[in-house]
Amino acid sequence: MKTRINKIAGLIIIAILSISSFTACTDDNSSNNNNIDNIVSEGAWSISKFNEDGIDHTSYFSGYQFSFDDNGTLTATNGSNTMNGTWSKGTDDSTPKLIITFSVTDGPFEEISEDWEILSSSTSKMELKHVSGGDGSIDLLNFTKN
């Protein structure tokens, strides 16, 4: 009888620990991924940082304002030039991503057409990171609300 009670108590403890660890692992990533729709589609954004392989290329986007529409359309304009693209959210190995695509094959807008890991997001700033599948180099992209 005592052995049977010990086995049941052990199973209950394992079940409680399993449930606790499962809920603890899902909070941070899902909140960033779920809120990104509401965050990006409100207002205009500008790029406050774009580092590619450790080199600052933020100036490539000087004067551009980015609008992320609810329908997945992304528009970047600086008054005289307009670049059209798309955006969506997704996950890769449980990592929340912001996927940006511009239909150019050359230049700075091609460089930010990537699946960006969401490092942090708020109503005023998004910090993103991309790790190259080819050489493992790291790019950083920050958007700041205008």
What are the tens digits of pLDDT across the range 38-84?
888 889 999 999 999 999 999 999 999 999 999 999 999 999 999 99
**9-20: per-residue pLDDT in tens?**
444 555 444 443
Total Cβ atoms within 10 A of residue 42? 12
Q: What is the distance between the alpha carbons of residues 124 and 146, in angstroms, rounded to a whole number?
A: 8
pLDDT band at 105 (very low <50, low <70, confident <90, very high): confident
- Residue 130 contacts residue 119 (beta carbons within 8 Å): no
pLDDT for 2: 56
Return the domain boundaries, the chain.
Answer: 28-145
Q: Name residue, tokens 């909070």.
A: 27
* Topology of the domain covering 28-145: Lipocalin (2.40.128)
Query: 125-131 and 65-68 as β-strands: parallel, antiparallel, unpaired?
Result: unpaired
pLDDT for 18: 42
Write out the two tokens for 39: 């965050």
- pTM to 2 decimal places: 0.75
Total Cβ atoms within 10 A of residue 112? 23
